[in-house]
Amino acid sequence: MQKNPYGQIYKGENHTFRMFKDEGDDLGSVPWNQKIFQNDTSHKCPTYVTQTPPCQGSCPSGHNIRGWLDIVRGMENPPDEISWQEYAFRRCTDVNPFPSVMGRVCPAPCEDGCNRNEVEDTVGINAVEQFIGDNAKDQDYKLEIDSKDSGKKVAIIGGGCGGLSAALQLRRQGHAVTIFEKYDQLGGMMMYGIPDYRVPRDVLNYEIERIIETGVETKMNTKVGVDIALNQIEKDYDAVLFAIGAMGGRSLPIPGGDASNCVSGVAFLEAYNQGRLKHINGKVICIGGGDTSMDVVSVARRLGNIENVAEKDRAEHIIFSDTAHDVVDTSKRLGADVLLTTRSTLENMPAAQEEIDDATREGVDIQGQLQPVEVITNDQGRAKALRMVRLEESGEIIEGSELDIECELIVAAIGQTVDGEGIDASFFNEKGFIEADRNYQIPNKEGFFVCGDVVKPHLLTTAIGQAVIAAESIGDYLGGKSQQARPKVDVHYFDLMEKLKEWDLSPSDYVKGSQVAKGTDTADFAVHNYEDRSFASIIPHTELFLGHFDNEERHKRNHVLVDVDNVLGNFEERLVCYSEEDAQKEAERCLSCGLCFECDNCVMYCPQDAVFKVKRDKSTLGRYVDTDYYKCIGCHICADVCPTGYIQMGLGE
C-alpha cells in the first residue's frame, strides 16, 4: 500500500484509493491537520491547472508529446480544413522536424519517464512518432513558413541535426539562413554516424529536403576556417550559429593505440555510410559499450569478413582514405568474428537494451569488465593483438588477469571530438568543445551562438532542443531584445490561449503572451478558473487518479529479428511502422497527465452540480468544464476523481 500526497490510501494493483481506512488497516485515516473540511464545506475551490507531463519533461527536445498523442487518439480535434494526420504532423514538427528519424533511433527517455509505467507499461511514444513521420512522407506534407522577411541573415556552420533544426526555426521567424557544410551531404551524424538499416536514406533525405524547401540556402563542401574564413562570415551575416557537431573519434589512450589498424567508431561508420567500406578482414574488436559501439559491431557482422585481402583493401586503408572496396570482392564474404568489450558489467552497459539484444542475437560476442591496456603490434606497426585485463565490479583490476586477444582491426568507440580546424582557438574550452549559457549564446562572443554535440556529445534529440532555444535567442538578438530568462521547465507546452484563438474563442482584449487567467468566473477578458504551471512543474504519478485506468497491454510495433544465420548482408530495416489503427490504439493509452481529457468524472461525481460542461460553442481542449462557485462547497471530490491531476483545490471564497 502507499499514500498519495493527501494521505489517501492506494490499495491493490489497480491503484484505487480510499479516503478512510478499512477495519483492521494499520494506516490510519487522513490526519486531522490535513483535512480541509468544516462540516461539509471549505474555503477551497477547484481550479484547472495544466502541468508538464513527465514524457515531455524527460525529452531533451521538449516537444509537445502529449499534444500530438492527443491528436492521434482523437481527443484534440483539428480545424476543419486539415486532417488529424496532418494536424499531428504540424504539432510534432513545431519543435522536431525529424519525426521519422527520431521515431526510429531515439532511445526514448520520454518512455522511461511515462506515468503509464505505474499502471502496466509505457506508451509506445517512439512508435507513434514514427507513424506520424512516415505518414507525412507518404502524404507529402510540407513545413509551413508564413513569416514576413525580417531582412536579417544568419549563418549556420554545420548541417547536421542541430543546424537543420535551427534553420527551420529561424526561417519561421522570417530570417534568411545559409548552412555551411563541409561534407557533400547534409545530415551530420544522422547521415554519417547511423547505419542505413536503422535510418533508411530515403526517409532521412526526405525530412532534410523538407527543411531546405522552406528557403534555406546551402553551401556544400565548404569547411569554415579552411574554405572560407570565419571573420568573412561574421562580416556577411548578422548572427552565426555553430552546429559543427563532434564528428571525430577518440583514439585508444594506451601504448600502441596509434597503430595503423586502430580506428575510431565514428570513422568506421562514416566509411560505411559513404559506401566505401564494404567488408572487413579478420577479427574485429570494438571497445565501447554505448550506442555507437553497437552500430559498429552490428555493421561489422553485416559486412562480413574476406580472407587474404590485398594490402590496399585492408579496412584501415579504406577508412582513412577516399578509396572504396571493389563490389566484386563482396561475393567472397564469410561471417565476421566480432568482439565488443566494455569496462562496465553487461547489466550496466549504457547502450539501449534492445540494441544489446539485437547484437547478441546477430552473433556479436559481448564481454564486460574488460579494460584494454596495450596494443600489441608487429614489425610493420600494425596491431596484431589487444592486451586486456579483467576488472572487478568495482572497477579494480584483477591481478594476473592479463590476456592477449588476436585481431585484425581495433575500433575505439570511446568518445567524440570536435574538428575545429581553422577556427580561432578562443572559441573552444580546454576539452575542445564550445561553452554555452542557458540561451546557447557563446559567452563573450557577441552574435555567436551554439548548439548540438559541439557543446557536449549527447542524443540527436538533445541537439534539436538546443537548436530551438538557440534560434529563439538569435531572434531576440536580431530584434534588439534582451535575452529571455529560460523557464524552470523549458519545454514546448500546451498553450490554452493559442488553442482558444485557433477556434475563435479568445477572451476579449486578448494579446498573445498577456496574463488573462485571473481566477474569475465572470469576466470576459479572462479564462475562468484556469492556471498554467507547465513552465514550473512536471506532474508526477502521485497526483493522478490511477484507479481510473484499466490495464491495457502495449501495442508494440513489429521488430524484424535478425539472427546469426541471416545477418550477413542483411541491411533491411528492422522496425515496422504502425498501421493507422495501431497508432491510434497506442495513443489512446496516454494518460494525458496534467491536462483534461474529457472523461466527465468531475461532472458526474460533484454532489452540488457545481461542475458543469462548457457550452459546445464555447468549449475546446483545456476548457471543457467550468465551476459555478455559488454552488461549490469545496468538498474536493472533483479533484479526487480527476484522472489526470488537472483539477486542484485552491483558496477562494
Task: Tell me, yes or no, whether 243 and 264 share the same domain.
Answer: no
What are the tens digits of pLDDT across the range 421-457?
Answer: 999 999 999 999 999 999 999 999 999 999 999 999 9
Whether the per-residue pLDDT at 146 is higher than 50: the answer is yes
Whether the per-residue pLDDT at 1 is higher than 60: the answer is no
Task: Tell me, yes or no, whether 396 and 366 share the same domain.
Answer: yes
Specify if 120 maps to a domain.
Answer: no
Whether the per-residue pLDDT at 17 is higher than 90: the answer is no
Task: Tell me, yes or no, whether 216 and 237 share the same domain.
Answer: yes
Specify if 9 maps to a domain.
Answer: yes
What are the tens digits of pLDDT across the range 630-653?
Answer: 899 888 899 999 999 999 987 654
Backbone torsions φ then ψ of 300, nearest 5 degrees: -60, -40
Report how far apart, in Å, the C-alpha atoms of 204 and of each of 194, 198, 639 are: 11, 11, 45
What was the pLDDT predicted at 18?
A: 43
Domain boundary pick from 478, 495, 521: 478
More confident residue, 369 or 525: 369
Specify if 211 maps to a domain.
Answer: yes
What was the pLDDT predicted at 247?
A: 94
Domain enclosing residue 358, as ranges = 250-416
Q: For residue 572, what are the β-bridge partners?
A: none
The grid cell for 381 is 606497426
Specify if 517 maps to a domain.
Answer: no
- Quick one: the chain helix, strand, coil %, rounded to 5? 30, 15, 55
Whether the per-residue pLDDT at 28 is higher than 70: the answer is no
Q: Of 270, 134, 263, 259, which Cα lies nearest the Cα of 192? A: 270
What was the pLDDT predicted at 199?
A: 96
**Mean pLDDT calculated for residue range 89-109:** 97
Instruction: Look up the CATH number of the domain holding residue 303.
Output: 3.50.50.60
User: Going by DSSP bridges, is the β-strand pair 217-219/176-180 parallel, antiparallel, or unpaired?
Assistant: parallel
State the Cα–Cα distance between residues 454 and 437, nearest whole angstrom: 14
Question: Measured in Å, how far apart are the chain's first and last C-alpha atoms?
Answer: 36
State the Cα–Cα distance between residues 299 and 570, nearest whole angstrom: 10
DSSP string over 218-252: EETT--BTTTB-HHHHHHH-SEEEE-----EEPPP
The band of 369, judged by pLDDT with boundaries at 50, 70 and 90, is very high
What are the tens digits of pLDDT across the range 455-492?
Answer: 999 999 999 999 999 999 999 999 999 998 999 999 99
480, with CB counted inside 10 A (0-12, 13-18, 19+), is exposed
Task: Tell me, yes or no, whether 276 and 228 share the same domain.
Answer: no
What are the tens digits of pLDDT across the range 393-428?
Answer: 999 999 999 999 999 999 999 999 999 999 999 999
The band of 8, judged by pLDDT with boundaries at 50, 70 and 90, is very low
Task: Tell me, yes or no, whether 225 and 341 share the same domain.
Answer: no
Specify if 124 maps to a domain.
Answer: no
Q: How many separate domains does the chain show?
A: 3
Task: Tell me, yes or no, whether 467 and 346 share the same domain.
Answer: no
Specify if 275 maps to a domain.
Answer: yes
Percentage, residues of the chain above pLDDT 90:
79
What are the tens digits of pLDDT across the range 506-560?
Answer: 887 666 655 555 555 666 767 778 889 999 999 999 999 999 999 999 999 999 9
398: left (phi over 0), alpha (psi -120 to 50) or beta: beta
Name the helix (H) or strand (E) containing 190: helix 189-192
Specify if 94 maps to a domain.
Answer: no
Task: Tell me, yes or no, whether 315 and 464 share the same domain.
Answer: no
The grid cell for 522 is 465572470
User: Taking a C-beta distance cutoff of 8 angstroms, is the pair 201, 571 a contact?
Assistant: no
| Residue 592 CA from chain centroid, whole number | 19
Q: Which residues of 323-333 are buried (b: 16+ CB within 10 A; e: fewer)?
A: eebeeeeeeeb
Specify if 412 maps to a domain.
Answer: yes
Q: How many CB atoms lie within 10 A of CB 137?
A: 16
State the Cα–Cα distance between residues 280 and 71, nearest whole angstrom: 47
Backbone torsions φ then ψ of 397, nearest 5 degrees: -75, 135
State the Cα–Cα distance between residues 252 and 272, nearest whole angstrom: 21
Task: Tell me, yes or no, whether 427 and 357 share the same domain.
Answer: no
Domain boundary pick from 374, 389, 416: 416
Domain boundary pick from 478, 494, 528: 478
Task: Tell me, yes or no, whether 240 and 296 share the same domain.
Answer: no
Task: Tell me, yes or no, whether 196 and 259 share the same domain.
Answer: no
Mean pLDDT of the chain: 91
What was the pLDDT predicted at 508?
A: 78
Task: Tell me, yes or no, whether 180 and 286 share the same domain.
Answer: no
Which DSSP letter does residue 167 get? H
Task: Tell me, yes or no, whether 408 and 429 share the same domain.
Answer: no
Whether the per-residue pLDDT at 316 is higher than 90: the answer is yes
Which DSSP letter does residue 501 get? H
Whether the per-residue pLDDT at 300 is higher than 70: the answer is yes
Longest dimension (CA), the chain: 92
User: Which residue is associated with the grid cell 519543435?
Assistant: 95
Q: For residue 156, what are the β-bridge partners?
A: 179, 241
Contacts 24+ apart (CB under 8 A), 345-350: 345/369, 345/393, 349/289, 349/290, 350/289, 350/290, 350/291
0.85 exceeded by pTM: yes
